[in-house]
């Protein structure tokens, strides 16, 4: 069996989740990686060097300068016949493109898998991770998106061959206009190793500066509960939870967050959870590795001072 991984990249480098996707693919068979881009040689070489990758297919053309699902899909369909499985990382790129490919292959996609049982059977979280389903596919070709945090990253090893393939044309349905990437010295929530989040207990948006000071020491991202977003303290892109971002950092510090189900669903796979809350009955303490029952307005500045020691 040969497995195709469709890489998410910015032409010069692969996105981190591609490495984890290659590991998931290696459990299924020989791995080929498709790099569609413009001047994407550096990304192709990086993919070719990953352990487990047997071949890299590179489609270098103007139409692939930006990863539009409408243009990538015909390219994938032009080579799909050679593969038993087509895997994409569950990044916004993968989530956007995979179902378009799956529908045209008449196959029911498996989203966000967290485990490979065998060639037809996979584990995936449902209900925001509150249940894990084991699902078997009867389709001849499987289209799958892979939850990066559930698999180890493939490491560099021997280099595989890079083979150029032809582009498949632009259907002309959509056009890229621009990107506005969040300019912040802090990492983005879904990629951060440490996250410090505030809830309704923060009382105002201005008080989030307390969390930002700690975040800057730890190289952490700042998040928020839905209650904090609904109260207007911070904008929606801070939201961690079932209807916000699902995160699994090494360390998650929940400050003034009671632990509503919808918030826990977004962060309970974090490796270490710290809760700071003045209400000792708060449900967040039932899942926290370390709990501190204290007023956040004294505890957080004290935390900042202690970390600076």
Query: Which residues from 169-228 bind another protein, rule CB under 8 A?
Result: 171-182, 188, 190-191, 194, 218
Least distance to another protein, CB of residue 156, Å: 23
109 binds another protein (CB under 8 A): yes
Q: Please count the other Cβ atoms lying within 10 Å of the Cβ belonging to residue 178.
A: 5
Residue 118 touches another protein, criterion: CB under 8 A = no
Contact 226, 264 (CB under 8 A): no
The residue from 136, 161, 164, 295 that contacts another protein (CB under 8 A) is 136
First to last CA, the chain: 55
CB of 202 to another protein, least distance (A): 18
**Angle of helix 208-218 relative to helix 296-308, nearest 10 degrees?**
20
> Contact 29/2 with Cβ under 8 angstroms?
yes
Nearer to another protein, 125 or 201 (CB): 125
Contact 31, 144 (CB under 8 A): no
Give yes or no for residue 38 binding another protein (CB under 8 A): no
Residue 21 makes contact with another protein by CB under 8 A: no
Q: Give the angle 238-243-249 at the CA atoms, nearest 5°.
A: 55
Return the structure tokens found at 175: 């056009």
Which of 35, 69, 146, 160 binds another protein (CB under 8 A)? It is: 69
The minimum distance between CB 158 and another protein, in angstroms, equals 30
Q: How far is CA 254 from CA 68, 95, 132, 249, 306, in A?
A: 36, 28, 24, 12, 17
- State the minimum distance, in angstroms, from the CB of residue 49 to another protein: 23
Verify binding: residue 293, another protein, rule CB under 8 A: yes
The length of the chain, given as a count of residues: 309
Please, what is the minimum distance in Å from the beta carbon of residue 1 to another protein?
Answer: 19
Query: Residue 48 or residue 72: which is nearer to another protein going by CB?
Result: 72
| Nearest distance, CB of residue 182 and another protein, angstroms | 5
Kindly state whether residue 295 participates in binding another protein, applying the rule CB under 8 A. Answer: no
- Cα-Cα-Cα-Cα torsion 163, 166, 172, 176, nearest 10 degrees, comes to 30
Size of the site for another protein (CB under 8 A): 92
75 binds another protein, rule: CB under 8 A: no
* Segment lying near another protein (by CB under 8 A), choices 19-27, 33-41, 202-210, 272-280: 272-280
CB 263 within 8 A of CB 226: yes
- 244-263: which residues touch another protein (CB under 8 A)? 244, 250-251, 260-262
Residues 44-63 that bind another protein (CB under 8 A): none
Q: Which of 98, 113, 168, 192 binds another protein (CB under 8 A)?
A: 98
User: Distance between CA 192 and CA 195 in Å, rounded?
Assistant: 6
Strands 161-164 and 221-224: unpaired
Residues 177, 148, 90, 60, CA torsion sign? positive
273 binds another protein (CB under 8 A): yes
Among 216, 236, 279, 295, binds another protein (CB under 8 A): 236
Pairing label, strands 251-255, 30-37:
unpaired
Q: How far is the CB of 197 from another protein (least distance, A)?
A: 16
Q: Does 285 bind another protein (CB under 8 A)?
A: yes
């Amino acid at each position: 069996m040969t497995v195709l991984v469709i890489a998410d990249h910015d032409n010069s480098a692969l996105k981190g989740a591609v490495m984890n996707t290659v590991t998931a693919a290696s459990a299924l068979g020989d791995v080929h990686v498709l790099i569609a881009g413009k001047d994407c040689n550096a990304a192709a070489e990086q993919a070719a060097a990953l352990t487990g990758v047997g071949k890299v297919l590179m489609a270098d053309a103007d139409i692939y300068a930006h990863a539009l699902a409408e243009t990538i899909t015909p390219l994938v369909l032009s080579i799909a016949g050679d593969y038993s499985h087509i895997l994409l990382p569950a990044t916004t790129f993968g989530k956007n493109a995979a179902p378009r490919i799956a529908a045209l292959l008449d196959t029911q996609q498996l989203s966000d898998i967290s485990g490979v049982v065998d060639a037809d059977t996979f584990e995936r979280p449902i209900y925001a991770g509150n249940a894990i389903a084991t699902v078997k596919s009867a389709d001849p070709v499987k289209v799958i998106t892979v939850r990066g945090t559930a698999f180890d990253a493939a490491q560099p090893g021997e280099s595989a061959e890079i083979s150029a393939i032809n582009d498949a044309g632009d259907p002309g349905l959509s056009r890229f206009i621009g990107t506005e990437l969040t300019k912040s010295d802090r990492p983005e929530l879904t990629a951060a190793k440490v996250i410090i989040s505030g809830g309704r207990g923060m009382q105002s948006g201005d008080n989030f500066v307390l969390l930002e000071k700690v975040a800057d020491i730890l190289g952490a991202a700042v998040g928020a509960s839905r209650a904090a977003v609904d109260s207007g303290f911070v904008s929606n892109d801070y939201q961690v939870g079932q209807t916000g971002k699902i995160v699994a950092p090494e360390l998650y510090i929940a400050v003034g967050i009671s632990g509503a189900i919808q918030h826990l669903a977004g962060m309970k796979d974090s490796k270490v959870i710290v809760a700071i809350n003045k209400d000792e009955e708060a449900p967040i303490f039932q899942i926290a590795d370390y709990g501190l029952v204290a007023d956040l307005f004294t505890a957080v500045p004290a935390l900042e001072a202690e970390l600076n020691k």
